[in-house]
A = this chain, B = another copy of it.
Amino acid sequence: MARWDPDSRGRLRQAAFELFAARGYDDTTVEEVAKRAGLTERTFFRHFSDKREVLFAGSAQLQEAMVGAVASAPASLSPIDAAVAGIEAGAAQLPDVATARQRQAIISAHPELQERELIKFASLSTAIAETLRERGLDEPAASLTAEVALAVFRTAFERWVDEANRRSFPELVRDSLDQLKAVTA
């Protein structure tokens, strides 16, 4: 094993997800995760600050991608279309569906992780609303648009990770958006 194995991060995540699923998040230690990945605890801590971060390490990149896309969307786009550009940029940050599904099952089984997820989404909504205000949108339209965009993102995500789903994430986003427009019309 090379000291700077380029895929050690992915291997650690995979090992962690398997152990969280098999024996529960609380009963899995960092030592066990590292061992299963064939790596040391020290390597684990080079990639993740703690056990929980294996699940949430992608949130910062997701937020950065979404906010960046909203900020750089053409000025001619309506607020909701700028927010949708943010969702599309967020979609590109998602892992493959099997990994996303594994992650979601672990989070759903654990109230503390669900709370963490809620906080991450609230922070994302605040950041998108702020970006929309910088584009010149007033309140409460900016906060409402951000909340609506995240509701579209989340419902599309929940359908995407459903075992029975065979549709792509972008298709589900478009469908959620259409349904949103229908219910608010």
Question: Which residues of A does B touch, CB under 8 Å?
Answer: 78-80, 115, 118-119, 122, 139-141, 143-145, 147-148, 151-152, 154-156, 158-159, 175-176, 179-185
Ordered nearest first, which 9 A-B pairs have the shortest CB separation?
Answer: A147-B151, A140-B155, A184-B184, A141-B179, A145-B183, A118-B118, A144-B180, A143-B155, A140-B176
Q: Is the Cβ of A176 less than 8 Å from the Cβ of B144? A: yes
Q: Is the Cβ of B183 less than 8 Å from the Cβ of A79? A: yes
Number of copies: 2
CB<8 Å pairs between A and B, sample of 27: A78-B183, A80-B183, A118-B118, A118-B119, A139-B159, A140-B158, A140-B175, A140-B179, A141-B179, A141-B182, A141-B183, A143-B151, A144-B151, A144-B176, A144-B180, A144-B183, A145-B183, A147-B148, A147-B154, A147-B155, A148-B148, A148-B180, A151-B151, A180-B184, A181-B184, A181-B185, A184-B184
A158 → B minimal CB distance (Å): 8
* A140 / chain B contacts, CB cutoff of 8 Å: 155-156, 158-159, 175-176, 179
* A147 / chain B contacts, CB cutoff of 8 Å: 147-148, 151, 154-155
Is chain A's interface secondary structure helix, strand, loop, or mixed overall? Answer: helix
* A145 / chain B contacts, CB cutoff of 8 Å: 183
Residue of B nearest to A132 (CB): B183
How far, in whole Å, are A179 and B148 apart by their CA atoms in the complex?
12
How far, in whole Å, are A152 and B119 apart by their CA atoms in the complex?
19
* A158 / chain B contacts, CB cutoff of 8 Å: 140, 143
